[in-house]
Structure formats: C-alpha cells, structure tokens
C-alpha cells in the first residue's frame, strides 16, 4: 500500500504540474544558462534514482518518501492555486504566460489527491494491516485459543460438578482472567462474549480491525464468530460495526487436541494458584 501511495503521489505531482503549466512558468521565471539547466536535469534524475532505491529498500523508507512527496505535492498545489488566483486578479509579469484555469484545475486535482495519498500512508501503516498482533493470522490464532479455552473450561466444570460452566470474569477464579485479559486488553480486540450456562451455549465474536474512513473501503477485514460447536466462522467486512454471525461460512474447526491443550493449561493454572495459597 505504501508503494501504491508513493507511486500515485509521484504521478499526481508530475501530471498535475504538467497540466497546470508549472514547469514552463518556473522556466520562464528562472533565466539560467543551458549548462545550469543540464546540471539541474542530471541532479533531478540522480535524486529520483536515489529516492526510488531508498523506498525500495524497506517499508520505512517508502513511508518517508511518500510523506515527503505528499508534502511537496500539497505545497506545489497551493503554489499553483496562488498563481492562478493572482493571474485572475492582475497580470504580474512573471505570470503573463500563465493560463489561470489550467493552474486552478491542476491545483484542485492535486491538493485533495495528495491529501488522500498522505492519508493512505497513515491508514495503512503496519499497525493497522501489517505486522504482529494486527495481522489477520495472529488475531485468528488468539480467537481460536479463546474458543478452545471456553470449551475446555466448560468440559472441566462438567467433569467436576456435572454442570457446564463457561468462563466469565469472576472473583472465584481471578487467576483465569489472564486467558480473557490476554485477548481483551488491547482496545482493538474487543471480544463480545455471551454465555448461557443453563443451556450449555456461548457465542463469541471478534470484530474486524480496519483502517479509518474512507480507507476502509480500499480493503476489508475478517470478523469471526465462535460458539460451543467449536466451529469458527468468518466474513469479510468494510465496516467495523458489522459482525460475523452464526450463519457465516465455517473456516476453521477446533480439534479435540486443541481443547485438551487448553484443559492442561487451566489445570496447571489452578494447581499454581492452590500452591500459592498454601
């Protein structure tokens, strides 16, 4: 995405400047020798090459280049807007060859487009759709663990007391909060859990994590649904207020091994708690 934003900003800068006649006006204003012009051309080409190589090297470089291009594009857009309005009002010598409607048209295209591209660099930074805990794979893995944990807790309770009991934060088992806290601490996790112990049912939903408007419409993100069946369902949404439901396609199914593993973890946590109390 950063590469897209970078290329779009670069192309917008060039094309709108050409549309507005920016380069011709600059050339008219700066009376230089052919040698200086040649030097400027070579310097520009070298700079472009270095920028391309730097941004190709890693994501951070691309982000910086995109931001710099965006600022330059907005500045140039404001410059052309200023020239266009000056030309409309009077006829300063330096702008006598300017065509006002071209400058204004270019400015009205360039400024909002550059702002949009700048917004992309923020919206699509790694923190939203990139690495670590915001990755789809990581979120699904944590969600799968949570569903397995609920089933494990309920099965252990049934073995012990004959009654199914899913886990909800309670004073009786505070040491088990970590299983839920690990997933709900981050604001972006926002698990929605509903428990019905009497009927042996629970549902849990993980909302989608999306970049802010309007960039959410350039992508989509998964929202998940899990319940006592051990099936995990998923749909892709562009609105973070839209949640997966019980009739969505199944994308993953918990295995008995997944639940047994969580039982072991719960029993271990309880043994540790009992030892701590002694």
Partner 1 sequence: MMQLSRTRLLPGSLLLLGLLLLPFSLGWLPIVRFTAEEIAIAVYPDHIQMNGTYHYENPFPFPVTQGFLIPLPQDSRHPEPVQIATTILSPVPSTLPVYFILGSHGFTASFAAKERLTIEVKYTQYTPDRDAWYILTTTQPWRRPLQKGLYTLSFHQTSFKTSNYPLIQEASGQYAFMREGFMPQEDWRFSWNISK
The b-or-e profile of 155-164 (16+ CB within 10 A means b, else e) is: bbbeeeeeeb
By C-beta, is 134 or 168 nearer to partner 1?
A: 134
Tally Cβ neighbours within 10 Å of residue 30.
10
Helix (H, G, I), strand (E, B) or coil at 71: helix
DSSP labels for 158-177? HHHHSS-------SS-GGGH
Q: Quick check: 23 and 17 in contact, CB under 8 A?
A: yes
Query: Shortest Cβ distance from residue 170 to partner 1 (Å)?
Result: 32
With CA atoms as reference, report the closest residue to 115 among 164, 165, 166, 76.
76
- Give, to the nearest 10 degrees, the angle between helix 59-89 and helix 22-29: 70
Q: Which residues of the chain form contacts with partner 1 (CB under 8 A)?
A: 1, 3-4, 7, 10-11, 14-15, 17-18, 21, 23-28, 41, 44-45, 48, 53, 55-59, 62, 97, 124, 126, 129-131, 135-137, 140-141, 218-222, 234, 236, 249-253
Residue closer to partner 1, measured from CB, 170 or 245 = 245
Which of residues 86 and 168 has its CB atom nearest to partner 1 in the complex?
86
Structure tokens at 144: 């799968």
Q: How far is the CB of 3 from partner 1 (least distance, A)?
A: 5
Q: What are 162's two structure tokens?
A: 């004959």
| Coil vs helix vs strand at 152 | helix
Query: 17 or 150: whose CB is closer to partner 1?
Result: 17
Cα end-to-end span (Å), the chain: 56
Q: C-beta of 236: minimal distance to partner 1 in Å?
A: 8
Alpha helices by DSSP H, listed for the chain, are 2-20, 22-29, 34-57, 59-89, 100-123, 126-129, 136-161, 177-184, 256-277
Sign of CA dihedral 48, 49, 54, 59: positive
C-beta closer to partner 1: residue 132 or 162: 132
Nearer of residues 34 and 276 to partner 1, judged by Cβ: 34
Q: Are 143 and 244 spatial neighbours (Cβ–Cβ below 8 Å)? A: no
From the CB of 257, what's the least distance to partner 1, in Å?
12
At its nearest, how many Å lie between partner 1 and the CB of residue 139? Answer: 10
In the bound state with partner 1, the residue whose beta carbon lies nearer, of 134 and 270, is 134
Cβ at position 73, least distance to partner 1 in Å: 13
User: Closest separation between CB of residue 196 and partner 1, Å?
Assistant: 26
């Amino acid at each position: 995405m950063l590469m897209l934003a970078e290329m779009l900003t670069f192309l917008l800068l060039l094309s709108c400047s050409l549309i507005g006649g920016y380069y011709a006006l600059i050339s008219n204003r700066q009376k230089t020798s052919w040698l200086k012009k040649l030097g400027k051309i070579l310097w520009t080409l070298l700079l472009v090459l270095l920028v391309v190589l730097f941004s190709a090297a890693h994501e951070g470089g691309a982000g910086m280049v995109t931001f710099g291009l965006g600022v330059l594009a907005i500045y140039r857009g404001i410059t052309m807007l200023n020239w266009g309005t000056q030309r409309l009002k009077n006829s300063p010598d330096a702008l006598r060859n300017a065509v006002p409607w071209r400058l204004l048209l270019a400015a009205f295209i360039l400024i909002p487009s550059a702002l949009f591209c700048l917004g992309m660099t923020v919206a699509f930074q790694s923190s939203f759709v990139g690495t670590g805990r915001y990755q789809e794979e990581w979120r699904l893995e944590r969600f799968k663990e949570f569903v397995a944990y609920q089933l494990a807790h309920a099965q252990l309770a049934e073995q012990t007391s004959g009654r199914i009991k899913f886990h909800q934060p309670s004073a009786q088992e505070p040491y088990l909060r970590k299983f839920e806290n690990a997933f709900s601490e981050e604001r972006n996790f926002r698990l929605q859990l509903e428990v019905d112990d009497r009927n042996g049912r629970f549902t849990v939903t993980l909302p989608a994590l999306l970049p802010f408007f309007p960039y959410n419409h350039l992508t989509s993100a998964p929202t998940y649904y899990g319940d006592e069946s051990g099936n995990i369902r998923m749909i892709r949404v562009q609105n973070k207020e839209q949640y997966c439901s019980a009739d969505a396609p199944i994308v993953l199914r918990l295995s008995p091994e997944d639940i047994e593993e969580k039982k072991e973890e719960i029993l271990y946590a309880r043994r540790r708690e009992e030892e701590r109390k002694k």
